[in-house]
Amino acid sequence: MHYLTGLLNGLLISFIPFAHLLRDHPNRGTYLIGLAVAIYVIFTVLASSSIWQMAGRGGWPSLSKSHLRPILVDGSNVMHWNGAPSELVLAAILRDLRGLGYTPLVYFDANVGYKLYNAYANGRMMAARLNLPRWQVEVVPSGVVADERLLERATRGGMQIVTNDRFLDWKPHFPRIGEHGFLIKGRWTGNGVAWRFPQDLKLLLAA
């Protein structure tokens, strides 16, 4: 890839001088078209390689909120909305959010795998279980407080959080906790999710 990058830079730098040298050549147009095609092909290869490398690392090119409509999900809380921790309940609630037009970004405590499967599960495993892209799921490392990571992301990105946790211990550090609509609450009814303030979700969609 470094070779292709150097070649592309060389072609771009030489294009104008090359065109000047060929100004009187009878096949000038043909040569310049060939050079332009070579630049385009190399650029396409480099761009495709960069995208696949980002996807392989679990990252993805950033998109604006108008494309994503991101909403944070406290996965370790939501999976308890029917009592015992349940992957099925969590997955159903995530589907409901997607049906409303949101892109859920799910955060879990480090012990989520032990609670659901009696075994450790990292972000890649949880994303696969929930049928989500890797970049939409984060399992925090052991020793890291997921609540703090979640609240920091919400504050930094201006996003809401789906959770029934009131985060009272964190309120002095994150004043947005007291704002109406910052925390989106709900419950599992057996037939689906019942949002406590469904108008908040509609207001978010209209924003």
- List the Cα angle 37/43/48 in 5-degree steps: 125
Least Cα distance to 195 among 97, 79, 126 occurs for: 97
Confidence band, pLDDT 50/70/90 cuts, at residue 18: low
Q: Are residues 191 and 173 in the same domain?
A: yes
Q: Are residues 41 and 77 in the same domain?
A: no
Q: Are residues 20 and 90 in the same domain?
A: no
In this structure, are residues 96 and 113 in contact, taking their beta carbons and an 8 Å threshold? no
* Residue count of the chain: 207
Cα dist from 205 to 72, 101, 121, whole Å: 14, 8, 32
Please give the average per-residue pLDDT across 82-89, as a whole number: 95
Q: What is the pLDDT of residue 61?
A: 40
- The answer on pLDDT for 183 being more than 90 is yes
Q: Are residues 21 and 108 in the same domain?
A: no
User: What is the average pLDDT value for the chain, to the nearest integer?
Assistant: 79
Domain count, the chain: 2
Residue where a domain terminates, one of 56, 83, 99:
56
Read off the pLDDT of residues 69-78 as tens digits, 9 standing for 90 and up. 899 999 999 9
Q: Are residues 16 and 84 in the same domain?
A: no
| Tokens 């095609």 sit on residue | 37
- The answer on pLDDT for 115 being more than 90 is yes
In terms of residue numbers, what domain contains 201?
65-206
CB atoms < 10 A from the CB of 179, how many? 9
Q: Are residues 26 and 109 in the same domain?
A: no
Read off the pLDDT of residues 26-55 as tens digits, 9 standing for 90 and up. 776 776 676 676 666 566 655 544 433 443
Confidence band, pLDDT 50/70/90 cuts, at residue 10: low
Q: pLDDT: is 100 or 10 the higher one? A: 100
Q: What is the pLDDT of residue 54?
A: 42
Q: Are residues 37 and 105 in the same domain?
A: no
Q: What is the CATH number of the domain that holds 117?
A: 3.40.50.11980
Q: What is the pLDDT of residue 17?
A: 66
What predicted TM-score, i.e. pTM, was given to this entire model?
0.66
Q: Are residues 26 and 76 in the same domain?
A: no
Q: Are residues 30 and 126 in the same domain?
A: no
Q: Are residues 46 and 107 in the same domain?
A: no
Q: Are residues 176 and 103 in the same domain?
A: yes
Q: Are residues 14 and 72 in the same domain?
A: no
Confidence band, pLDDT 50/70/90 cuts, at residue 57: very low
